[in-house]
Amino acid sequence: LPMTALADPVPTEGLPDSNVPVKLTVHKFSASAESNTEGKGTVIDTSNLGTPLKDAGFTLYKVKDSGVTKIQADIKVPATQQQMNSEAYAQSLIDGGHTEEVTGGEKMTDASGEAKWEGWTIGYYILKETTTPSGHTGAVTNIITLPFGYKDGGTNAWNYDVHVYPK
């Protein structure tokens, strides 16, 4: 999933299954080339993204109920919608006490450029690059939804094994 600030889940038939654990895999690469692949939160062709980047650190924050209420209110205000797709909006949720750091703290990418979280619950999360290797640019802080709702052809679906490619 090429990272966007707020990935709105596609309305699906029914709600996601709260009994299914959610996984998140971050894939960090040295290049900042954009992918033309539509984001479904799945594994994509990374041949144009450079080499996997080791030792980039990411921290995952779960948005608390107060933050979800704020997001749901803000998304209804056209002027606020544009602001929500910004790093500053995501950071304001962290700074405003609307999040809690996911257990385990910062995760470092391995030699394949991956950092993984498993067993999380449905909700909004903020993914922040908290350690950037020397000579590289840090990724934009983003709000993501777990699981990720998307269209698969004409069918709506939930992806419980989400892959993101922060730039």
Q: Model confidence over 20-60: pLDDT tens digits?
A: 889 999 999 987 556 555 567 888 888 888 899 999 999 99
As beta bridge partners, residue 76 has none
Residue 48, classed as helix, strand or coil, is coil
CA-based nearest residue to 150, from 37, 33, 47, 25: 37
Q: Which amino acid belongs to residue 97?
A: G
In DSSP terms, which residues pair with 62 in a beta bridge? 100, 125
Is 60 exceeded by the pLDDT of residue 1? no
What pLDDT score was predicted for residue 60? 93
Query: What is the sign, positive or negative, of the torsion defined by CA atoms of 44, 49, 53, 59?
Result: negative
pLDDT digits (tens, 9 = 90+) for 72-109: 787 777 666 667 767 888 888 898 888 988 877 899 99
Compute the radius of gyration of the chain from its Cα atoms.
15
CA angle 119, 124, 129 (to 5 degrees): 80
Residue 117 has pLDDT above 90, yes or no: yes
